[in-house]
């Protein structure tokens, strides 16, 4: 039977189940990546498995998020991660070396491989023709321990690309167009697979921008074929030997298909405060701006920074704009410097930072009050920038630089001729700081600072569950709402008791106290939510910290994939409304009982009766048998000890 690229990679990695829609499958993971903000917890979890060395073909430990060292905590975590990498046989990419996804694309990714990363933008690797999936830290720890990664067999969404991008329109506009059409939940349950004559018009870094930003569709991942452009990219990185061709067979079928004629696209922009709030740049042109940031794992490749530099060879930055560059990797910095483009940026007045995530996760670079900030980042969720009531717009590097020059949102086509340029045939590799895995058997002591708290223990599931509705929230709640990030909270990622103080802080400052009081009264906590609950980041802290506060059940209209998996991993029961209208009548503070919950989960029942102030409603538990066992045990680590 004719197969898609997705089906080919899944078939060659399948270790459990069969490739039938909606069935749970287990796949072999060839490579893993972690970043520091999720990695500290992932390695504590890996340690708990007792496995002496990673079992993958290749695993990389990156430090890219928590770069601001305002006290000992982030610095301690960096040292912990370096020692963990040395002890367990991983590559280590230190602070300043770049964003995990960009560095992985340049130095490690390979067509046809599977990659599991503890970050939701891991699909960046799909630009190279690999199946790259984001997951919670515990799932990545299990993959490092050599266990399969389990997922529900997704449907495949084919995106047929045709035509050629016009001048001043770039890869980001393709995904903004898809977000405009499909919304932040349009990709839930799908892998997005790109095909068609337009694919050959896109370089690997353009493709990676698309598969990266595709995380915002809620998709499991996104993937491109591996072709001559892939070969060229790998050759430019000195890694030609890893190239293999990979394409969908003639006659392969997709569950859905969308056609995008790239020739018909124009510059687009996502308005505050959701990546799918997309309009044409011309519709918001003229609004004054205070800050422009070019960077993030979406758009900080050499091409993205070069286009900015080429524009600035002839133009100056408006004096009212703070124009900042966050290079994706040391490699990008090195090549920009060698080519002389860095000089252009510096002379033009750009604030050039070290390679890393920085303002994308609120690690500095907060915009001024009441002003517009334009960013080439993937997310503009409310308050993520660090400024309350922020107005963050997401756009391409072309729109960003044109706007920085004019001091207001600007259609880059107004700048006139497009500055065409070529990418190098051979990049300077910029990987001198990446540490290779140590030999097996070498004794390495793990350096643990006082910031690293032991992993909390959780009880198995109760027979009949008694609790209270602690909070009711609406649609599209992000993990940034549940477990905020930013320079103040991120250093607590390796300390669950400390970080749990901030759960739901941006929604309700009283949440933590209410949860603690409820738990002290021997009652469990329940959270009620709308559609696409838990979209965005893969941070398992958004499950782990609420669980630490006593949240044991969530009842929502629908879940985002990674968050649902994280809830199960930490023993929180993920229920959905059988009748979504029931959502309306639920109120914070109501008493909840789920009679014989344990028994019903053991019996494999899909429908549970939930008594809200003694009134019954029906809830659905859509999970595999393996998940049921994990929930009964009180989480994956408890389960793994008994399995």
Looking at beta carbons only, is 205 or 537 nearer to ligand MIC? Answer: 537
List the one residue from 297, 332, 560, 601 that touches ligand SF4 (CB under 6 A).
Answer: 297
**Strand, coil or helix: 118:** coil
Give yes or no for a contact between 138 and 42, defined as CB atoms under 8 angstroms apart.
yes
Closest distance between ligand SF4 and the C-beta of residue 328, in Å? 8
Task: Name which of 62 and 577 has its Cβ closer to ligand SF4.
Answer: 62
CB 415 within 8 A of CB 306: no
Contacts for 46 with CB less than 8 Å, ≥ 6 apart: 54, 84, 88, 141, 144, 145
Distance of CA 135 to the CA centre of its chain: 8
> Which of these is catalytic: 537, 558, 582, 627?
537
DSSP letter assigned to residue 325: E
Site for ligand MIC in 342-371 (CB under 6 A): 361
Catalytic choice (413, 514, 539, 547)? 539
For ligand SF4, the binding residue among 44, 135, 210, 357 (CB under 6 A) is 357
Tokens standing for residue 427: 């990049």
Backbone angles phi, psi at 364, to 5 degrees: 85, 180
Tell whether residue 58 is a contact of ligand SF4 (CB under 6 A).
no
| Residue 539: contacted member of ligand MIC, ligand SF4, none (CB under 5 to 8 Å, by partner type) | ligand MIC
Residues in the chain: 643
Q: Which stretch binds ligand MIC (CB under 6 A): 193-201, 389-397, 532-540, 548-556?
A: 532-540
| Residue nearer to ligand MIC on the CB measure, 62 or 427 | 62
| Three-class DSSP category at 449 | coil
Minimum CB distance to ligand MIC, residue 100 (Å): 9
The end-to-end CA distance of the chain, in Å, is: 37
Q: Please, what is the minimum distance in Å from the beta carbon of residue 65 to ligand SF4?
A: 6
Interface mask toward ligand MIC for 45-84; x: CB under 6 A: --------------------x-------------------
| Residues 275-294 within binding reach of ligand SF4 (CB under 6 A) | none
State yes or no: is 539 an active-site residue: yes
Among candidate residues 30, 119, 276, 480, the one labeled active-site is 119
Q: Site for ligand SF4 (CB under 6 A): which residue of 44, 84, 294, 360?
A: 360
Which CB, 35 or 170, lies closer to ligand SF4? 35
Residues 477 and 507: their CA atoms lie apart, in Å, by 10
Annotation marks residue 119 as catalytic: yes
> Which of ligand MIC, ligand SF4, none has residue 538 at its interface (CB below 5 to 8 Å by kind)?
ligand MIC
CB of 384 to ligand MIC, least distance (A): 8
Query: What does 561 bind: ligand MIC, ligand SF4, none (CB cut-off 5 to 8 Å by kind)?
Result: none
Q: State the CB neighbour count (10 A cutoff) for residue 331.
A: 24
Answer yes or no whether residue 132 interacts with ligand SF4 by CB under 6 A: no
List binders of ligand MIC among 425-484 (CB under 6 A). Answer: none
- Tokens of residue 445, six digits: 């002591």
Structure-derived torsion over alpha carbons of residues 49, 50, 51, 54, reported in degrees to the nearest 10: 70
DSSP state of 490: G
Looking at residue 209, what DSSP letter applies? H
Instruction: Select the binding partner of residue 38 from ligand SF4, ligand MIC, none (C-beta < 5 to 8 A, by kind).
Output: ligand MIC
Tell me, by CB under 6 A, how many residues bind ligand SF4: 11
Pairing of strands 465-472, 221-223: unpaired
Q: Which of residues 80-99 bind ligand SF4 (CB under 6 A)?
A: 99
- DSSP character at residue 368: P
Which of ligand MIC, ligand SF4, none does residue 99 bind to, with CB < 5 to 8 Å depending on kind? ligand SF4
Among 345, 477, 485, 610, binds ligand MIC (CB under 6 A): 485
Q: Exposed (0-12), middle (13-18) or buried (19+): which is 205, by Cβ within 10 Å?
A: buried
Q: Are 365 and 324 in contact (CB under 8 A)?
A: yes
Give Dmax (Cα) for the chain.
71
Task: Select the residue interacting with ligand SF4 from 121, 303, 514, 564 (CB under 6 A).
Answer: 121
- Quick check: helix, strand or coil at residue 526? strand
Rounded-to-integer distance, Cα 462 and Cα 484, Å: 29
Cβ closest to ligand SF4, residue 59 vs residue 385: 385
Q: How far is the CB of 380 from ligand MIC (least distance, A)?
A: 11
Please confirm, yes or no, whether 413 is among the known catalytic residues: no
- Check binding of 378 to ligand SF4 (CB under 6 A): yes
Coil vs helix vs strand at 14? strand
For 450-536, where are the alpha helices, taking DSSP H only?
A: 479-482, 486-489, 496-499, 511-520
**539 is an interface residue for ligand MIC by CB under 6 A:** yes
Whether residue 121 has a cis bond before it, omega within 30° of 0? no
| Active-site residue identified among 65, 101, 104, 375 | 65
The tokens for 214 are: 């595709």
**By C-beta, is 41 or 568 nearer to ligand SF4?**
41
**Whole-number Å distance between alpha carbons of 612 and 577:** 13
As beta bridge partners, residue 238 has none
Dihedral sign, Cα of residue 167, residue 308, residue 405, residue 261:
positive
8: partner contacted, choices ligand SF4, ligand MIC, none (Cβ within 5-8 A by kind): none
For residues 259 and 384, is the Cβ–Cβ distance under 8 A? no
Cα pseudo-dihedral 409, 363, 212, 210, rounded to 10: 20
Residue 451 to residues 82, 447, 497: CA-CA distances in angstroms? 15, 11, 11
Partner whose footprint covers residue 296, from ligand MIC, ligand SF4, none (CB < 5 to 8 Å by kind): ligand SF4
Q: Which stretch binds ligand SF4 (CB under 6 A): 7-15, 51-59, 354-362, 583-591?
A: 354-362
124's CB contacts (< 8 A; 6+ apart) are 101, 102, 104, 105, 132, 208, 211, 212, 297
Min CB(359)–ligand SF4 separation in Å:
9
Q: Is 537 a catalytic residue?
A: yes
Q: Which stretch binds ligand SF4 (CB under 6 A): 104-112, 136-144, 176-184, 353-361?
A: 353-361
Binding residue (CB under 6 A) for ligand MIC from 4, 6, 31, 38 = 38
Closest CA to 129 of 117, 118, 113: 113
> For ligand SF4, which stretch binds (CB under 6 A), given 194-202, 355-363, 570-578, 620-628?
355-363
Among 36, 106, 119, 193, binds ligand SF4 (CB under 6 A): 119
Give catalytic status of residue 303 as yes or no. Answer: no
Q: Report in angstroms how near the CB of residue 597 gets to ligand SF4 at its nearest.
A: 36
Candidates 77, 119, 531, 582: give the one binding ligand MIC (CB under 6 A): 119
Distance CA 33, CA 343 (A): 33
List residues with catalytic annotation: 64-65, 119, 379, 537, 539
The footprint of ligand SF4 (CB under 6 A) covers 65, 99, 119, 121, 296-297, 357, 360-361, 377-378
The footprint of ligand MIC (CB under 6 A) covers 37-38, 65, 119-121, 134, 361, 379, 485, 536-539
């Amino acid at each position: 039977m004719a197969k898609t690229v997705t089906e080919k990679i899944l078939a060659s990695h399948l270790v459990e189940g069969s490739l039938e829609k909606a069935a749970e499958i287990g796949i072999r993971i060839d490579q893993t990546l972690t970043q520091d903000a999720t990695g500290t917890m992932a390695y504590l979890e890996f340690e708990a498995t007792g496995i002496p060395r990673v079992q993958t073909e290749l695993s990389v430990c990156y430090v890219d998020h928590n770069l601001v060292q305002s006290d000992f905590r982030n610095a301690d975590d960096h040292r912990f991660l370096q020692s963990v990498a040395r002890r367990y046989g991983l590559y280590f990419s230190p602070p300043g070396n770049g964003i995990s996804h960009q560095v992985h694309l340049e130095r490690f990714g390979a067509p046809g491989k599977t990659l599991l990363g503890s970050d939701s933008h891991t699909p960046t690797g799909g630009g190279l023709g690999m199946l790259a999936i984001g997951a919670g830290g515990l799932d990545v720890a299990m993959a490092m321990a050599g266990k399969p990664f389990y997922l529900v067999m997704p449907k495949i969404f084919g995106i047929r690309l045709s035509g050629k991008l016009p001048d001043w329109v770039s890869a980001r506009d393709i995904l903004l167009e898809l977000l405009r059409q499909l919304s932040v939940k349009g990709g839930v349950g799908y892998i997005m697979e790109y095909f068609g004559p337009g694919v050959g018009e896109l370089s690997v870094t353009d493709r990676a921008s698309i598969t990266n930003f595709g995380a915002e569709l809620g998709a499991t991942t996104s993937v491109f074929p591996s072709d001559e452009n892939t070969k060229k990219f790998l050759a430019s990185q000195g890694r030609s030997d890893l190239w293999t061709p990979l394409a969908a067979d003639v006659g392969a079928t997709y569950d859905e298909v969308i056609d995008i004629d790239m020739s018909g696209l124009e510059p687009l922009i996502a308005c505050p405060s959701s990546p799918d709030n997309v309009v044409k740049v011309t519709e918001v042109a003229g609004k004054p701006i205070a800050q422009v940031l070019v960077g993030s794992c979406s758009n900080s490749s050499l091409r993205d920074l070069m286009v900015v530099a080429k524009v600035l060879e002839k133009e100056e930055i408006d004096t009212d704009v703070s124009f900042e560059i966050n290079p994706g990797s040391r490699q990008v910095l090195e090549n920009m410097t060698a080519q002389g483009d860095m000089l252009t940026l510096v002379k033009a007045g750009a604030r050039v930072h070290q390679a890393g995530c920085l303002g994308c996760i609120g690690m500095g670079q907060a915009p001024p009050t009441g002003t517009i900030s334009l960013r080439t980042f993937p997310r503009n969720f409310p308050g993520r920038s660090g400024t309350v009531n922020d107005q963050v717009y997401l756009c391409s590097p072309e729109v960003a630089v044109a706007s920085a020059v004019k001091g207001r949102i600007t259609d880059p086509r107004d700048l006139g001729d497009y500055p065409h340029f070529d990418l190098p045939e051979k990049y300077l590799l910029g990987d001198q700081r990446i540490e290779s895995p140590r030999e097996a058997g070498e004794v390495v002591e793990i350096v643990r600072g006082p910031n690293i708290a032991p992993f909390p223990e959780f009880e198995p599931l109760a027979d009949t569950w008694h609790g209270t509705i602690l909070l009711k929230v609406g649609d599209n709640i992000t993990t940034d709402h549940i477990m905020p990030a930013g320079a103040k909270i991120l250093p607590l990622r390796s300390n669950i008791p400390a970080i749990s103080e901030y759960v739901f802080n941006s929604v309700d400052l009283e949440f933590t106290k209410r949860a603690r009081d409820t738990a002290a009264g021997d009652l469990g906590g329940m959270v009620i939510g709308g559609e696409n609950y838990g979209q965005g980041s893969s941070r398992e802290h958004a499950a782990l910290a609420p669980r630490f506060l006593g949240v044991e059940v969530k009842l929502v209209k629908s879940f985002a994939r990674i968050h649902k998996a994280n809830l199960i991993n930490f023993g929180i029961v993920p229920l959905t409304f059988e009748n979504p209208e029931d959502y309306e009548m639920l109120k914070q503070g109501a008493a909840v009982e789920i009679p014989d919950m344990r028994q019903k989960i053991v019996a494999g029942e899909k429908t549970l009766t939930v008594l809200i102030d003694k009134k019954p409603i029906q809830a659905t538990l859509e999970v595999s048998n393996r998940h049921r066992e994990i929930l009964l045990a009180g989480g994956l680590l408890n389960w793994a000890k008994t399995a």
